[in-house]
Amino acid sequence: MNIKKNTQNDCNLSIDSNIQINIDSAESDAFLKIDYLYVVQRFDVFTASSQCENQNFYFIYSMDNFNTDIEQKKSKPYFKANAETECYERISLPSSCRSFNMEVKQNLSSTNQKLLFTVQRNYRYTCLCLNRPDVQVIGSSGKKIGYVRSPLFSIQKTVEIFDANNNLLFNIKGIWNQLQTYCYLPYDFCKTISFDIHNKFNKKIAEIKKIGHKKGCCYECMLNVESEYAVQFPKLSSYEEKALILSGVFFLDYSFYEERYSDMCCLCIQRCCCSQCIE
């Protein structure tokens, strides 16, 4: 009776969460064996040009290390993610505010895709330290895994990751004024924005790299690519921790980079160029 009652209480937590992630235990082993991921966001030019683009598509590939030639692995993504937003929110709200529903699936074959976890975020308007964006992570069984939060931090782009007991696990930190953030020249030093993953003792244990081709807006549109991330997981991470970190990557993308490339794309898409919520 007590077990049933606790399970019911955990399920109730998922209803109130800003982002909830339900991890299917059958796929946890496959997710657990991955140490590096390559996350690519793609957009559909035809839906974007309709002024009612309401979906984001992410292809997620397994990597051996940061030096992996990802072009050789792009034939089949290991996971696929699809985030959907209401059309009116897409048009009227910046990405850092609007809600979305996301499904991340294991791509076993073209006809066989198994749900790995789902992501949901409700609308959140932030003003300075008030109403800061946060993410709740809930397992498929209804058990709370942890949550991700964006603190008020003006010097760095920071995401905090906590476990279910409110213990700090990781910090994802990127310096706000990295030259690569503002450099759009097609040179190697302009292509990568770095984020460090720190443990609770503030020691760097892994890294996330945001990679861009930086070859011009028309090139980006023809390539059909918006954002790319290379993700290194900390050694001996559990699948719950990896799910939290991957959710942090999606959270970073929506908070800081969702509109950058698509707004620069000549006439390929017609998306409002909005500023982020007041912070």
pLDDT in tens, 200-248: 999 999 999 988 754 444 444 444 456 889 999 999 898 889 989 999 9
* pLDDT higher than threshold 70 for residue 187: no
pLDDT (0 to 100) of residue 169? 96
Which region, left, alpha or beta, applies to residue 166 given φ > 0 means left and ψ of -120 to 50 means alpha?
left
Q: Answer whether 83's CB lies under 8 Å from 105's CB.
A: no
Bigger pLDDT: 10 or 272? 10
pLDDT (0 to 100) of residue 265? 40
Residue 170 lies in a domain: no
Residue 151 lies in a domain: no
pLDDT band, residue 186 (cuts 50/70/90): low
Residue 202 lies in a domain: no
Tokens standing for residue 269: 């898409």
Residue 189 lies in a domain: no
Bigger pLDDT: 95 or 170? 170
Residue 176 lies in a domain: no
Which region, left, alpha or beta, applies to residue 214 given φ > 0 means left and ψ of -120 to 50 means alpha?
left
Give the Cα separation of 68 and 42 in Å (integer). Answer: 20
pLDDT (0 to 100) of residue 279? 38
pLDDT in tens, 25-43: 555 666 778 899 999 987 6
Q: What string of DSSP letters covers 176-223?
A: TT-HHHH--SSSGGGSEEEEEEEETTS-EEEEEEEE---S-HHHHHHH
pLDDT band, residue 144 (cuts 50/70/90): confident
Give the Cα separation of 229 and 194 in Å (integer). Answer: 10
* Amino acid in position 20: Q
* pLDDT higher than threshold 70 for residue 16: no
CB contact set of 101 (below 8 Å; sequence gap of 6+): 83, 84, 85, 118, 119, 120
CB contact set of 82 (below 8 Å; sequence gap of 6+): 55, 56, 57, 58, 102, 103
pLDDT (0 to 100) of residue 14? 39
* pLDDT higher than threshold 50 for residue 273: no
Q: Answer whether 172's CB lies under 8 Å from 197's CB.
A: yes
pLDDT (0 to 100) of residue 41? 86
Residue 255 lies in a domain: yes
Mean pLDDT for all residues in the chain: 73
pLDDT (0 to 100) of residue 267? 32
| Residue 207 burial by Cβ neighbours in a 10 Å radius (0-12, 13-18, 19+) | middle
pLDDT band, residue 118 (cuts 50/70/90): confident
Q: Poorest-confidence range of 126-135, 193-202, 261-270?
A: 261-270
Give the Cα separation of 213 and 230 in Å (integer). Answer: 13
Tally of structural domains, the chain: 1
* pLDDT higher than threshold 50 for residue 253: yes
Residue 149 lies in a domain: no
* pLDDT higher than threshold 70 for residue 106: yes
Residue 270 lies in a domain: no
Report the SS3 class of residue 254: helix
Give the Cα separation of 221 and 46 in Å (integer). Answer: 11
* pLDDT higher than threshold 90 for residue 195: yes
Give the Cα separation of 277 and 88 in Å (integer). Answer: 17
Supply the range of the domain harboring residue 240: 2-144+224-264
